[in-house]
Chain A
Amino acid sequence: GQNIDQPTEMTATEGAIVQINCTYQTSGFNGLFWYQQHAGEAPTFLSYNVLDGLEEKGRFSSFLSRSKGYSYLLLKELQMKDSASYLCAVRDTGGFKTIFGAGTRLFVKA
């Protein structure tokens, strides 16, 4: 079966660092994506991992361990505008089908 687990909600303080975890159990694996979705808007792409390790992109980093079926998104120097849902998504092998997790709602407080 296909299963992607993320915490439902997290709260963090402006200027701090937050780590959003994602575990997955899927029949195939051809990469893991993180998307950001502000309320009432469409998801937008943040990061992509296909090999184990850390990918850094400015304030955002994403880590992948394929053997553990685990990823995290790290957000540094949090800003109020980072309040949003963060979706973990796994692409299946052999095609382009992508399964999305339910998302983690992040609240950034002053």
Chain B
Amino acid sequence: DAGVIQSPRHEVTEMGQEVTLRCKPISGHNSLFWYRQTMMRGLELLIYFNNNVPIDDSGMPEDRFSAKMPNASFSTLKIQPSEPRDSAVYFCASSPGTGNQPQHFGDGTRLSIL
């Protein structure tokens, strides 16, 4: 079975550029999560969706960050404009949505903003 698929795996871009990260959750999972991981702050929840609806975006650091989930099989996380401090690994995860089911993580996008 295909897991959570993220693209790109790596992205290097200059500050000020727009960055779009993509995620395809596991089919049938109705909850989707975006995380950011850095050495300093660990794994931080940015936003999560349930049935394509954003439920909690309190972790989104600034208005430069936005996320969408137009359908059950696709989500994007966009940073515009990007800054060097946005450099991190961004993970997407999905889960079936019942309480005892774990989240399944994608391989992550390693983002470097120069």
Nearest CB in chain B to that of A44: its residue? B105
Q: Decide if B102 touches A100 in the complex (CB within 8 Å).
A: no
Q: Could you say which of A30, A50, A98, A103 contacts B103, with CB atoms under 8 Å apart?
A: A98
Consensus secondary structure, chain B interface:
strand
> Chain B interface: which size bin?
20 to 34
Interface status of A20 (Cβ within 8 A of chain B): no
Interface status of B86 (Cβ within 8 A of chain A): no
Interface status of B76 (Cβ within 8 A of chain A): no
Q: Decide if A42 touches B107 in the complex (CB within 8 Å).
A: yes
Number of interface residues of A (CB under 8 A): 22
Nearest CB in chain A to that of B41: its residue? A102
Consensus secondary structure, chain A interface:
loop
For the complex, give the distance between the alpha carbons of A65 and B31 in Å. 27
Q: Which residues on the A side are within 8 Å of B95 (C-beta)?
A: 96
Q: Could you say which of B48, B107, B108 contacts A97, with CB atoms under 8 Å apart?
A: B48
Q: Which residues on the B side are within 8 Å of A42 (C-beta)?
A: 91, 105-108
Q: Decide if B104 touches A45 in the complex (CB within 8 Å).
A: yes
Q: Which residues on the B side are within 8 Å of A58 (C-beta)?
A: none
Q: Which residues on the B side are within 8 Å of A106 (C-beta)?
A: none
Instruction: Give residues 93-109 of B contacting A (CB, 8 Å).
Output: 95, 97, 99-100, 102-108
Q: Could you say which of A31, A87, A101 contacts B99, with CB atoms under 8 Å apart?
A: A31
Residues in A lying within 8 Å of B, measured CB to CB: 30-31, 33, 35, 41-45, 48, 50, 87, 91, 95-103
Residues in B lying within 8 Å of A, measured CB to CB: 31, 33, 35, 42-45, 48, 50, 55-56, 91, 95, 97, 99-100, 102-108
